[in-house]
Amino acid sequence: MRNLFASFLIVAMLGACASDKPKNESGVGAVPTATIGTELAGPDTYLGQMPTAFVLLTGTANDVNRSQKVAFCKAFIQVPTATKAQAGSAVALNLVRTRWLIDQAGITDAQSTDCDGFLVDHYDFTRAKNLIGQIKLSKGSFASGGPFFVVVSGGNIAALDASTFADYPTFTKGWGDFVNNLGANVATNVKSGDSKASLWEKIAGIVLQLIGKVWPGVQAIEGVIQDVVCDQKS
């Protein structure tokens, strides 16, 4: 788990090469903070632009867990949208788009926040099932039914299982808290002269500590996924 989240956030926050980190005035490598921004993803939405993230729901809109899905949706829409996040950040490349999958395009403003109706009724359960089917797991499973917060970078996936969380707003708020705290810790502990191996170990250690702090007892899932993540829905 620590390696996959470290991989995801190294890409998100440091770019392709550690030696390319921007410098602050003191000459020490400065790490820009990654930003979580939510987005509704219709059937033709490209899920690429790594790293990326999305919410996976299982079952159907009207199964016995509908109230759970509605509650999670209401927590999801409280996270700033990608549009708002971009407007507030000068570094658009650090935006990690977190998608809610829907089965149609061209929705209205009212529909975009309607968790009791539209967003759950039109969540794209077929696409979510296909994505889960494309993941080759190395740890954990999707057997609990979720909801799941999934991040993808370079074909690796790391997911957090929200099924054990009664307080979904705390869980979704943790997405932003996690990347913000990581940015502060990395900026303090990572030095411009660190080797790539040292850089990896430092960030992996910070990641491991913060996961336990932000989401105590969280169930982690790891694996790899093929190009279906970046393809349009067939």
List beta partners, residue 157.
Answer: 152, 223
H/E segment holding residue 211: helix 196-214
Kindly state whether residue 23 falls inside one of the protein's structural domains. Answer: no
Structural domain contains residue 20: no
Q: Is residue 25 part of a domain?
A: no
**What does pLDDT average to in each consecutive run of 10 residues of the chain (234 residues)?**
53 41 41 73 79 90 94 93 76 74 93 97 95 90 91 79 84 74 65 60 62 71 69 45
User: How many domains does the chain fold into?
Assistant: 1
Which structural domain, as residue segments, surrounds residue 209? 2-14+31-230
201: Cβ–Cβ under 8 A, 6 or more apart, which residues?
none
Question: Looking at the domain assignment, is residue 218 inside a domain?
Answer: yes
Whether residue 19 is contained in a domain is answered as no
Is 97 inside a domain boundary?
yes
Does residue 123 fall inside a structural domain? yes
